[in-house]
Structure formats: structure tokens, C-alpha cells
Amino acid sequence: MKKLLQHTASDISASIVVLLIGLPLCLGIALGSGAPLFSGIIAGIIGGIVVGFFSKSALSVTGPAAALTAVVVMGISSLGSYEAFLVAVVLAGFFQIILGYIKAGIIAHYIPNSVIRGMLTAIGLILILKQIPHILGYDVDFEGDERFFQNDQQNTFTEIPQAINSIHSTALMIGLISLFILMIWQTKSIKKTKWLNLVPAPLLVVLLATVANYFFEYTASSASLEASHLVNLPIAKDLPEFISFFTLPNFSHILNPSIWVIAFSLAIIASLETLLAVEAVDKLDPLKRITPTNRELKAQGIGNLLSGLIGGLPIASVIVRSSVNVNAGAKSKKSTIINGLLLLLCVIFIPGLLSRIPLSALAAVLIYTGFKLVSLKEIKSFYAKGWDQFMPYIATTIGIFLTDMLTGIVVGMLVSLFFLVSSNFRSAILVVNDNNNYLIRLRKDVSFLNKPIIKKHLQSFPDHSFVIVDATRADFIDKDIIEEINDFIDNAPSRGISVTIKKGHYQPMHLLFKQP
């Protein structure tokens, strides 16, 4: 019992912060997906309670993901109804459970650290730049949009001048004061005061912003914020209307081949998004706990299955809310479960209160989270490690920022692979010469990719020279390489070249290398 209650205070505190941040993101992603607004809330509840229960991830938060928005829009449009699309969400859940059982989660362990860190930096930059318009009171683009090119025909950069030309003074004041509070809450003087440390800064910011707006409304001030600058939560007048917010899938469409294609697409994208997110969150975890990825895929599958059955959007582990969870001081997965429970209780009992939260205050929290993710010290660290670490890091950051997470990760992986191959080129073959004596040493793995290099070296040896081919340090030699060396041995006598072969100790080399 003592272990169960351990860190409960920290987890409850963090769950409230994630609730406040996650609510507009759930609504925004539903809005951007062309789905019913409440479908985002359902997905957030399922992601918190259900996935939180079955997952072994300590700190990741699951909910509707921006990466799935395009697939949802396309799915609803092509299938003709949201009820038909929900069938695809249910099937996607089944596919993810299967992926978990066939141990597809191992994919996450092959992603280089430079790529993961680049992803976190990119998310930090996106949070900062995407939330600047919202903190200025320009709420045209929906909350949670992480794409560079937006639905309002603007992009991440061009949206900012538009926002500057349309500043809402009250929203800006609330946003700037919120940022100021978040920053001073990290100072030593505040941290030394124990009773102040009991109050999470993001929660304090949201409460003060909401009270301030209530005051403006109560005094009938023109400074009060319009509904478009507040969280816009669907409010039911009675129980039947609340129940009507839930949508059941129409399984009569299950034989439609398009549904299966969409379901498979959802499963693959949601699984990749989840694996990337949990890998990144594990890097942020102060205790450096490792998430069992196959178990995570099964948990996500169960979550998507249930979300689809009651009208929710497809879900995945999401890095933004997970980062907020870590920065808010969460210590265990109880935080995400409590977050789901609080979200459910709040939309039932106090939807009106939640609908009074200013978006600019939430934008301030997200901007602050973004600055925590973008570390100049880390950028310098990767630069100091060399180009083979720095370039994949930068490529991933730029790729995600200008496109989306999955595309950016692919770009980072390709750049990382390029440096891996280049490194192998440089280190697999070493040539040393002393007067007319030449040593060509094969090291590590010598693949067919090294064929042009070894061919060039063999052709460059002058006539009447002495050549030693040392293969004792090679772990693997491709047959194409052995063929090139054998051709050199055959032609060496005609050029007056003396060749000595130092062989390794594994059978293929004894069988395939010719004796000079």
C-alpha cells in the first residue's frame, strides 16, 4: 500500500497540469481532423485511464496525436461518415495488439540518440513558435497543430506577423504575466520556500488567468476575453445530451477494403509515433527508466480499440503532453491515469468552468515547456561530438520542424546512415607504404560498398612492388572483395608484384582466398 501511494502528491499535481494543457489540445486536434469535438475528449480519457493502466511506461501520456490528423481527415472524407471511420480505429487497435505480440516494438531501439534528441529539440521549437500567436491572442490556427503549413494558408513563420497585427491586449497581458510567473517559480528563492513549492507554477498560472478573466467579465469590462480566446468545451444541458456526444461505429462497413487500408495506416503511424515518443520520454525521465515497447504497443492497441468503440479519435503516445508531464514533476504512471480520470470528471461536472480558461495562459505554459526542450548546451555538446553526431541531430530537427515528426525522423535516420557508411569506408581499409613495400589491411566489416576503394588501391600499386594483404583483423569480408583480391593475385606476376596474404581464422576466407 505504501508503494502504491508513493509519489501520489507529485503525480496528482502533474496530472492537473497535463489536464489543463491536454484539454485544448484534444479539442484542437479534433477540430483540425474534421471530427466531432467531443471525440478528442474521449480519446484523451481513454489514453489516460485505459492505456495508462495497461502500459508500463512511467511518464508518457497518450491521447489524440497531431501526426494522425491527416489520416483522420482523409479517412472521414473517403469513407463518407465518422461512424464508418470508427470501424477503422477499432481495426487499427487489433493490428497494434498483433504488432505487440510479434515484438515489433524492437524498432524503437534502432533509432540513434542523435535523432531522438533532435526530435525533442524540434518539438521544443515548434511549441515556442506555434504558441506565439496564441499568447498574442490570435487563435485562428487550432491548438495542437504541429505542421509547418497550416489550414489557414499560413505557415509557422508567416503566422507570427499576422498575430502581431492582430494583438489582443488582454490575452497578451495574461500570457506575459503567466510567462513571468513560470520563470520566477524556478528561481532559488522560490524553491527554498517549501509551501510555494507545493503549488505547481502551471496550475497557479491557469487559476490566476481564469480569475482575472472572471473579474473582467464581472465588472463588465471591455477587457474581458471573447469565447474564441477561451477553451471551447462542448457543454451538455442534461444526461441524454451528454450521452449523445458518444458515437458508435457502423460495422456494416467492415467489408469495405478502404477501411482496412485506413486501419493499417493508422496502426503503423500511431505505433511509430508511440515508439518515438516513449523513446524520447525515457531520455527525459530523471530516473532513466526503460519502457517495454512491445507491452506499449499492446496497451496502445487496447486503447484504440476502446476509443473507436465509443466514438473517440485514434490515439498514440504524444511527446508534447509527455514533456509537460515530466516538467510538472510526475514520478509514475499514476499521473496519466489520474489525468484521464480528472478529464472524465471535469467534462461531466464542471465543463463550464473549464470553458473559462484563457488560451494565452496555456500558450505560456507550452512556450515555457518548449524552452526546457531546446537546450543550447545540448546543441554545443552534439557539435563537440563530431559531424557524425551533429548532422543527424540538426537534420532531424529541421526535418521535423519543416514537415512532420515521421518525415523528420526518416531524414535524420538517412543522414545517420550516410555517416555510418562513410565511417565504414574510412575505417574498413587501411593502406600503408614504406618505399616499395605496401600493406593493405582489412578491418571490421568489409562490404561490397568498399569495392571501389579497394579496387582503386590495388590498381595504384606500382610494378615490381611488394604487397601484403592483411585480413587477420576483419570480422567479415564480402565475396565481391575477395574476388577483387583474387583477380589482383592472378595479375600480380605479369606486373612483377610479389603478394603475401595474411588470412583470418574463419573458414570462408581459407576456402576463397587464392594462394599467391
Q: DSSP characters for 222-278?
A: TTSPPGGGB------SSHHHHHTT-----GGGTT-HHHHHHHHHHHHHHHHHHHHHH
Instruction: Give the separation between CA 266 and CA 88, rounded to whole angstroms.
Output: 8
Per-residue pLDDT at 321: 95
Per-residue pLDDT at 507: 42
Tally the residues of the chain: 516
In the sheet that holds 498-502, the strands lie side by side as 429-434, 437-446, 466-477, 498-502
Per-residue pLDDT at 512: 58
For each successive 10 residues of the chain (516 residues), what is the average pLDDT?
69 94 94 94 97 96 94 94 97 98 92 94 96 95 89 91 94 96 88 77 93 88 88 88 94 96 97 96 93 97 98 96 94 95 94 92 95 92 94 96 93 92 76 90 84 88 92 85 89 92 60 61
Per-residue pLDDT at 191: 77
Per-residue pLDDT at 510: 43
Q: Please say whether the dihedral angle defined by the alpha carbons of residues 505, 506, 507 and 513, taken in this order, is positive or negative.
A: negative
C-alpha Rg value of the chain to the nearest Å? 29
- Which CATH number applies to 435-512: 3.30.750.24, 3.40.50.150, 3.40.50.720, 3.50.50.60? 3.30.750.24
Residue 34: all three cell numbers together: 474534421
Instruction: Give the separation between CA 171 and CA 3, rounded to whole angstroms.
Output: 43
Domain locations in the chain?
2-165+234-354, 376-423, 435-512
Amino acid, res. 377: K
Amino acid, res. 184: I
Instruction: Give the separation between CA 237 and CA 482, rounded to whole angstroms.
Output: 79
Would you tell me how many other CB atoms lie within 10 Å of the CB of residue 244?
Answer: 11
Instruction: Give the separation between CA 458 and CA 448, rounded to whole angstroms.
Output: 15
Per-residue pLDDT at 514: 65
Would you tell me how many other CB atoms lie within 10 Å of the CB of residue 454?
Answer: 21
**End-to-end CA distance of the chain, in Å?**
76
Per-residue pLDDT at 187: 85
Instruction: Give the separation between CA 8 and CA 101, rounded to whole angstroms.
Output: 32
Q: Say if residues 378 and 358 touch (Cβ distance below 8 Å).
A: no
pTM score, whole prediction: 0.86
Per-residue pLDDT at 348: 92
- In angstroms, the Cα distances linking 308 to 47, 82, 87, 214, 513 are 12, 10, 7, 37, 61
- List of residues 6+ apart from 266 with CB closer than 8 A: 68, 71, 75, 88, 89, 92, 304, 314
Tell how far CA 186 is from the center of its chain. 26
Residue 416: all three cell numbers together: 545517420
Instruction: Give the separation between CA 464 and CA 470, rounded to whole angstroms.
Output: 19
Burial class from Cβ neighbours inside 10 Å (0-12, 13-18, 19+) for residue 458 reads: buried
Residue 484: all three cell numbers together: 577483387
